[in-house]
Amino acid sequence: MATASFTSRRLGNLLIDKGYISQEGLQDALDRQKQGSRNKLLGEILVEEEFCTEDQIVECLAAEYGVPYAKLEARLYDPTIVDILPREYVEQNLVIPLFVIRETLTIAVSEPSNLFLIDEIRKFSKMQVQIVAATPKDIRRLITTLPNSKVFVIDDIIEDSETADVTLIEEAIEDIGDIEEIAGQSPVIRLVNYVIFNAVKEGASDIHI
């Protein structure tokens, strides 16, 4: 959720501006933080007390830091992530690599304000890093699906997708159909990853993966 460097009041005001919480709700959460939850971030209290959702908080953080907000809904990521960052590091820092495109690593993080973490990953991976924001819940769930094998590199998929006889769907990814039923079909996975690539490249505000 929001880091200490992102002030409670600032986060609260963003949520109010979006209409996700009321001024009274913010004050209530701030009071609870002062009274006995000083070790908890405001975002954690807001979610625990059901003033708002994780998705709403991360959406606000993403907008504030100018990064896409990604709703991680399916197991569609580049399995090379296993080789890029150690599993223990991924679990401890709630960060998940999604894919590599021409030496640029795209990762999902729950705290886009954590510049130290992003810089650390850049040094560790020896790649340029691009981020999308996702909820801690979605990242944890996706981490449990990580394979232990090596992965494909998306450059090849992009080439194949650009030359293959397919119709590119430019609407929301939900329009592709039942992802659970088609997830095992390699051509569909290639197409979805290509759509994700284009969305990130063009700075889409929301990505459904």
Can you name the residues that pair with 187 across neighbouring β-strands?
none
Q: Is residue 171 part of a domain?
A: yes
Output the pLDDT for position 51: 92
Residue 161, pLDDT above cutoff 70: no
What's the pLDDT tens digit per position in 182-195? 344 444 455 555 55
Judge whether 73 and 209 are in contact, CB under 8 Å: yes
Residues 108 and 195 in one domain: yes
**What does residue 100 show for φ and ψ, rounded to 5 degrees?**
-120, 130
Please give the helix or strand (H or E) that residue 105 lies within, else none. strand 104-109
Instruction: Find the mean pLDDT for residues 16-43.
Output: 85
Q: How many domains does the chain have?
A: 2
- What's this model's pTM, rounded to 2 decimal places? 0.64
What's the pLDDT tens digit per position in 81-138? 777 888 889 999 999 999 888 889 999 998 898 899 999 999 988 999 999 999 999 9
Q: Is residue 61 part of a domain?
A: no
What's the pLDDT tens digit per position in 37-72? 556 788 889 999 899 999 999 999 999 999 999 888
Q: Is residue 2 part of a domain?
A: no
